[in-house]
Structure 1
Amino acid sequence: MAAAPLYGGSADDSAEDYSAAATVFRFDPPLPLLRAPVPSASSAPGEPPVLAFRDAASWRAAWDAAEASLVSQCEAGARSGCSITASRKCKPPWWKGLFGGAPTDYEERERCEEREMAACLEAAKEACITFAKGKCIAPFRDARIASDGLLENTDFDVWSGGSGKASSTSPAVLNNQH
């Protein structure tokens, strides 16, 4: 009779099951920072830097990504809420079963739920877009965008992953008012 393995498994497990390829999980490389520290336009020596987007295109890309994420999350929540609301609106009244009325027509109830769901989702879509814009306005309205030439020849290495430097000793940082 063969002895059982000490730590579980079966006696016929091969070494391939524990290879690095089978057991190591590779993570995606870290994403570069959206904003980098740059000296403020009014910075005195020793004052901390401010965060700025590298250009207007990166500001717009960050806005679009944040807005799309908020809309997606809002619509997912709205689908759950609309589903519950449609089910409640289309169910037969509680008292209908007490008097032995006609049996529930599930096909009609399904059509009712589809109509209610479509109307609810249409209203929620507009509300989600308005909600996302409202949430993005405050942080992005006051965001700074670095001016041309600001992010050259510095010690900061944040946007390009080591291939180039991405900050500045120049004091010019613009406030973005899109």
Structure 2
Amino acid sequence: MRADARKNYSHLLAVARDVIAEYGADASLRDIARQADVGLATLYRHFPTREALLEALLRTSLDVLTRKAADLGSSMAPDEALSLWLPDAVAFVRSYNGVVAVMAAALDDSNSALHASCTSLRAAGARLLEQAQAAGTARNDLDGTDLFGIIGALGWLGGQPAFASRADRLVDIVVAGAILQTGE
């Protein structure tokens, strides 16, 4: 990629990150191009679809969360690993309004640009959950898809103004009360 094209690509991603964080996953691509001070054709040359733009924007964060799950799962007690990882996953989902629906749809669409990243994230969470279940510290009636759904629900809820101030507390309640077993 030429230097000017690489610069446009990086700039478009930075602007898209801000616009999508503010207006959600359905933000106008025309507005992203306008705010990046490039033509719509330039945006489409780099990102032929909205999903391609979202994949480029979200992939790094999804990959970081996937690696973090593996690191935590190999370095600490399973319940601690899950308790530390889950709030980060929820915070990621909460940071982009509308991304829950996009990620949920990508799980069922193997042709989606986001399918591989979302599937990897779900599998990483499932491994943490399975480790905690094997240790007897997590409910056995949950699976990775349930956990992915819980992350999405908590992320969406935390993005709602009426619940934003309670978002972290709600994550803690769900982890302690619905996922982990207290041994009582």
Q: Could you tell me the TM-score, scaled by structure 1's length?
A: 0.26
Higher helix residue share: 2
Higher strand residue share: 1
Identify the structure with bigger relative contact order (alpha carbons < 8 Å, sequence gap 6+): 1
